[in-house]
Amino acid sequence: MDLNWLFLFPMNGAAILFTAVAIMGGLVAYLYGPHWKVRKVPGPPTRPLIGHLHLMAKYGPDLFTLLAKKYGPIYRYHMGRQPLIIIADAELCREVGTRKAKEIPHRSIPSPITAAPIHQKGIFFSRDEQWSTMRSTVTSFFHTSSLSTMIPTMQSFIESATQIFDSHAQTQQDMDFSKFSIKLATDVVGQASFGVDFGLSKPHSTINTTKDGCDEATQFINQHIFNTTNLKMDLSGSLSIIIGLVLPILQEPCRQILKRIPGTMDWKLERGYRDLGGRLDRIVEKRMEEEKGRTSKDYLSVLLSGRERKQNYLTQEYISALAYEQLLTGSATVAFSMSSIIYLVAAHPHVEKKLLEEIDGFGPKDKTPTLEDLKDKFPYLEQVIHESMRYIPSSPLIARETATDVEIGGYLLPKGAWVWLCIGALLMDPKNFPEPEKFKPERFDPNCEEMKQRHPSAFLPFGIGSRTCTGKQFAQQEIKLTMIHLYRRYVFRHSSNMEYPLEFTYGLIRSFKNGVKVRVIKRNID
Ligand code: HEM
């Protein structure tokens, strides 16, 4: 073979060395660039490539509280290559969330989301005008006037589930309350938002069954739960997500390859998103055809009428993403909070007693509370809900990203820095919550000294500032109605199959690893 052509492109040793050094330099700059820009912020020593992920694997999210004790109210945590500036102080949280909200307006997009296009187009991860247009469009759905019209819908789903509880009470079989609550919350948000009855929380599903024996809605919800719980932020996610944590530049190429290899987690997630997206597209398309003669206003109607004014921002793709986001945010977080309440009240008989007294005092079992009743007549229930959200927070971290250079806590942070508010650490800080390991709903009594002394930004279960949760009132209304309905009829005890201490999994939203298994006891009151 003639290899003389090789010598037409002579490359001397110096050139090879220069190229190798340039590549190495580029790689080092890529890997350590983000770290270098925030190096002055204190933090534990990092490991090459994985940063502090090994610490997260060892301690779980408690790590953030442990690091706050050691490094103070502002410190660095490295999620692989990406440094996060963690804020673990109420006053600094207020500064980031409100006073400097203009300089820190975005939510940062972690690698699990980069792998999930359907999530990126919702309000949660949108930015600038796309975000403000979508947020202002959906606001009317959450107005007090709309919320009061949702009470009958919520109430009817809760009531229809009574049979399920009765049968558990009768047979004395364990009930996994967290499984029930995700079905209930999905049904409620499905009906209130899209006018669709998934029928998941009914004793016998009324929906058509497909050939494989699994009804459409169940398949939908299974897929939705699978995809949501597998968006992990640590080293237990799909391979492309793990690669994204270490070398973000390679995440998308890897995902493109892995999603074509049957059996891999990326393949499963991709199939799930395609399917979920397809189902939502069909719901949206159908509604676009039907919309004209429609009088009742649900979430989809609000979006579709917003689309007439803001066509560029509310394309069908975005509307489907918003519909999915509504389903996800409206179900998982609410279900988690309801399950925490049931679990914690069952473990504290004196709280249960006081709660039952308040609920029974409201009136006969079939009297449905109005929106005003929910606001004024159940102060102790509200305290129980708040204390449960403090004790087992569903979202211990709130993600933000700087849009410009900005000074926080004495450190100059560059544009693009990820600033995460560690609200979970604030909830366990004795400065804000004396004896934080105790479950004490009374600490949320507005007249008690502890509440008066507490920093206003020490308890932020629904976030802070302009990006605060849009569904706060909706969620609180649903949780209160459900608890009132259930505690009028039942009390709950931990099953002997329930693990102690509780175990969780951490994805986009925290969930109970083994569910909340309880025994249902029917109350003998009329
Ligand atoms: C107990 C239930 C819930 C909890 C604990 C919760 C918590 C949160 C938190 C902590 C945030 C981040 C706020 C921030 O960054 O400052 C958030 C944002 C959000 N939540 Fe909720 N949420 C709940 C229920 C809901 C419901 C029912 C919906 C809708 C039906 C919803 C929709 C949203 C949306 C769209 C955002 C993004 C807002 C934006 O970026 O502008 N959430 N939620």
- Which domains, ranges and CATH numbers included, belong to the chain? 45-110+143-214+325-522 (1.10.630.10)
Q: How far is the CA of 27 from the centre of ligand 1 (A)?
A: 38
- Choose the residue to mutate in 324, 386, 418, 469 for probing ligand 1, maximizing ligand atoms within 8 Å of C-beta: 469
pTM: 0.89
Q: How far is the CA of 254 from the centre of ligand 1 (A)?
A: 31
Q: How far is the CA of 471 from the centre of ligand 1 (A)?
A: 6
Neighbours of 144 (CB within 10 A): 10
Q: Which ligand 1 atom minimizes the distance to the CA of 394? A: 5
> Ligand 1 atom 37: the closest Cα is on which residue?
124
Q: How far is the CA of 214 from the centre of ligand 1 (A)?
A: 31
> Ligand 1 atom 9: the closest Cα is on which residue?
462
Any long-range contacts for 177-181 (C-beta under 8 Å, 24+ apart)?
A: 177/338, 177/339, 177/342, 177/343, 177/492, 177/515, 177/516, 177/517, 177/518, 178/335, 178/336, 178/339, 178/511, 178/512, 178/515, 178/516, 179/515, 181/334, 181/335, 181/336, 181/338, 181/339, 181/482
Cα within 13 Å of Cα(106), Cβ side: 18
Protein residues whose CB sits closer than 6 Å to any atom of ligand 1: 107, 123-124, 135, 189, 325-326, 329-330, 333-334, 337, 394-395, 398, 461-464, 467-471, 474-475
Note down pLDDT in tens along the chain; length 526 residues: 555 655 555 567 888 888 888 888 888 888 888 889 999 999 999 998 889 989 988 888 789 989 999 999 999 999 888 999 999 999 999 999 999 999 999 999 877 676 676 778 889 989 999 999 999 999 988 988 889 989 999 999 999 888 899 999 999 999 999 999 988 998 999 888 888 888 888 876 544 444 444 455 566 666 666 666 665 555 566 788 878 877 888 888 888 898 899 988 888 888 877 887 787 788 778 777 776 666 667 888 888 888 877 777 888 888 888 988 888 888 889 999 999 999 999 999 999 999 999 999 999 988 999 999 999 999 999 999 999 999 999 988 999 999 999 999 999 999 999 999 999 999 999 999 999 999 999 999 999 999 999 999 999 999 999 999 999 999 999 999 999 999 999 999 999 999 988 998 877 678 898 999 999 999 987 6
Q: Which single residue is written with the structure tokens 């507005």?
A: 446
Q: Which single residue is written with the structure tokens 């009855």?
A: 197
Q: How far is the CA of 478 from the centre of ligand 1 (A)?
A: 14
> Ligand 1 atom 27: the closest Cα is on which residue?
330
Give Cβ neighbours of residue 479 (< 8 Å, ≥ 6 apart). 334, 337, 338, 341, 385
